[in-house]
């Protein structure tokens, strides 16, 4: 363990995606993350096949240790409290009120360990009309304006983004908040509580651009429904590519690459503002030209004229794309039980505190006995707590 979070211990009671993604990044960065699971295991173990070790589970839980505890038993709750004594961070994402019902609320754990960073993640917030509701990613997309932004135009219906943006973004937000609280604690010596709601996360995340139209009070009626940015995908003779010209110099390059010098004098397109106002006509005309040649031909032409461009890759094509290979972002290694696997390394690369890139995810409860031994439990007590 040599990452920047090396030496910090996290007790992770969270399940599914938002919480485990946050602690997954910190495990990649060297934290000792103890994943507390129910006897049936985190349900993500069952997703995507893999007999308790699906691909999604592997990624977000790599580098963690697993202990199974019965949180309805006094012994199970006592074990969590013993772990908290020597921990730096405690994370949970049960529905509001549940953790207090278990006897593991902030006040209880703070009394055991005043330096603890206690993290509560919720879907909608800890109070209010939605606080009791079960949360799924699409529900947050619906409430945060994401589905509105994804509509094709003002006459189209709202549309979902087809991947769990709110869960993953909440994971990153929580990872940063935990790290910030640990940093602050180095100077003040004080633990504290952090609360994060997925709904808040997405509104804060979207505000600088997707929701920027709501900034000026009194102007909100002018915010249009539907599509924010253009969909800059064009069909070539043999596939799809994206290209775009924002500045005047890029537009000149675009006209040259497409061999349409007459567009430079076209009143609709010869200013940056004109190109925005007349985007539909511009994109249609561009698309008609792009259809005439292959993706490779266009990328070479566009690139040589300084126009930002790229092929639109299918997921398997990512693996062999020359820049992805150059970056060594996808790494292969052997995982016992799963065989040869690929994982993306964490994006941020640290010169002196490198992240761990070839970690395994734990089998359910694999580390229970070792973790209890570290806490001073003897063999009889371990058998009682683990029910074995």
Closest CA to 64 of 99, 89, 85: 89
Our finding on whether 241 is near its own copies (CB under 8 A) is yes
| CA–CA distance, 293 with 274 (Å, rounded to integer) | 27
Binding its own copies by CB under 8 A: which of 225, 259, 271, 388? 225
Binding its own copies by CB under 8 A: which of 205, 263, 269, 377? 205
Our finding on whether 248 is near its own copies (CB under 8 A) is no
Reduced to 3 states (helix: H, G, I; strand: E, B; else coil), residue 90 is strand
For residue 190, what is the enclosing H or E element? none
Sign of CA dihedral 303, 309, 315, 319: positive
Our finding on whether 116 is near its own copies (CB under 8 A) is no
Binding its own copies by CB under 8 A: which of 77, 158, 366, 381? 158
Beta carbons of 340 and 332 less than 8 angstroms apart: yes
Burial (CB count <10 Å: 0-12, 13-18, 19+), residue 267:
exposed
Burial (CB count <10 Å: 0-12, 13-18, 19+), residue 372:
buried
Binding its own copies by CB under 8 A: which of 319, 337, 370, 387? 319
Reduced to 3 states (helix: H, G, I; strand: E, B; else coil), residue 220 is helix
Our finding on whether 380 is near its own copies (CB under 8 A) is no
79 or 302, CB closer to its own copies? 302
Q: Count the residues of the shown chain that bind its own copies, applying the rule CB under 8 A.
A: 151
Our finding on whether 338 is near its own copies (CB under 8 A) is yes
Residue 86 beta carbon to its own copies: minimum distance, rounded to whole angstroms: 17
60 or 258, CB closer to its own copies? 60
Binding its own copies by CB under 8 A: which of 350, 379, 383, 388? 350
Residue 282 beta carbon to its own copies: minimum distance, rounded to whole angstroms: 15
Q: What angle do CA 268, 271, 272 make, to 5 degrees?
A: 110
For residue 35, what is the enclosing H or E element? strand 32-37
Binding its own copies by CB under 8 A: which of 72, 74, 189, 208? 208
Our finding on whether 315 is near its own copies (CB under 8 A) is yes
Our finding on whether 5 is near its own copies (CB under 8 A) is yes
Residue 385 beta carbon to its own copies: minimum distance, rounded to whole angstroms: 29
Catalytic residue among 32, 42, 88, 167: 167
For residue 87, what is the enclosing H or E element? none
Binding its own copies by CB under 8 A: which of 155, 217, 273, 336? 217
Query: Any catalytic annotation for residue 88?
Result: no
Our finding on whether 283 is near its own copies (CB under 8 A) is no
74 or 231, CB closer to its own copies? 231
Residue 264 beta carbon to its own copies: minimum distance, rounded to whole angstroms: 20
Residue indicated by tokens 């709202």 = 158
Q: Give Cβ neighbours of residue 227 (< 8 Å, ≥ 6 apart).
A: 149, 150, 151, 152, 153, 154, 156
Active site residues: 167
């Amino acid at each position: 363990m040599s990452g920047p979070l090396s030496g910090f211990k996290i007790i992770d009671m969270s399940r599914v995606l938002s919480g485990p993604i946050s602690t997954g990044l910190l495990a990649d960065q060297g934290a000792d993350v103890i994943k507390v699971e129910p006897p049936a295991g985190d349900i993500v173990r069952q997703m995507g096949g893999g007999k308790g070790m699906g691909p999604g589970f592997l990624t977000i839980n790599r580098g963690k240790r697993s202990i199974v505890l019965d949180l309805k038993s006094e012994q199970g709750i006592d074990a969590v409290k013993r772990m908290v004594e020597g921990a730096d961070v405690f994370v949970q994402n049960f529905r509001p009120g549940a953790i207090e019902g278990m006897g593991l609320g902030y006040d209880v754990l703070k009394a055991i360990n005043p330096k603890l960073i206690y993290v509560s993640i919720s879907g909608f917030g800890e109070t209010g009309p939605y606080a009791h509701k079960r949360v799924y990613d699409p529900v947050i997309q619906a409430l945060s304006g994401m589905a509105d932004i994804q509509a094709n135009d003002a006459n189209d219906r709202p549309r979902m983004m087809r991947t769990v943006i709110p869960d993953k973004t909440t994971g990153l937000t929580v990872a940063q908040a935990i790290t910030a609280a640990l940093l602050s604690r180095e100077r003040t010596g004080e633990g504290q509580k952090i609360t994060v709601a997925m709904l808040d996360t997405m509104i804060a995340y979207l505000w600088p651009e997707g929701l920027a139209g709501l900034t000026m009070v009194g102007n909100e009626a002018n915010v249009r429904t539907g599509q924010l940015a253009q969909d800059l995908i064009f069909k070539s003779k043999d596939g799809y590519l994206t290209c775009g010209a924002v500045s005047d110099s890029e537009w000149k390059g675009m006209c040259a690459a497409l061999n349409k010098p007459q567009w430079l004098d076209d009143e609709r397109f010869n200013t940056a503002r004109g190109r925005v106002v007349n985007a539909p006509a511009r994109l249609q005309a561009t698309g008609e030209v792009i259809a005439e040649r292959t993706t490779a031909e266009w990328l070479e032409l566009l690139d040589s004229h300084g126009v930002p461009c790229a092929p639109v890759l299918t997921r398997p094509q990512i693996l062999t794309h020359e820049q992805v290979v150059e970056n060594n972002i996808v790494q292969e290694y052997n995982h016992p039980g799963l065989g040869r696997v690929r994982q993306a390394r964490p994006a941020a690369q640290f010169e002196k505190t490198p992240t761990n890139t070839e970690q395994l995810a734990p089998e359910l409860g694999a580390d229970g006995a070792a973790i209890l031994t570290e806490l001073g439990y003897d063999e009889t007590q371990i058998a009682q707590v683990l029910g074995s």
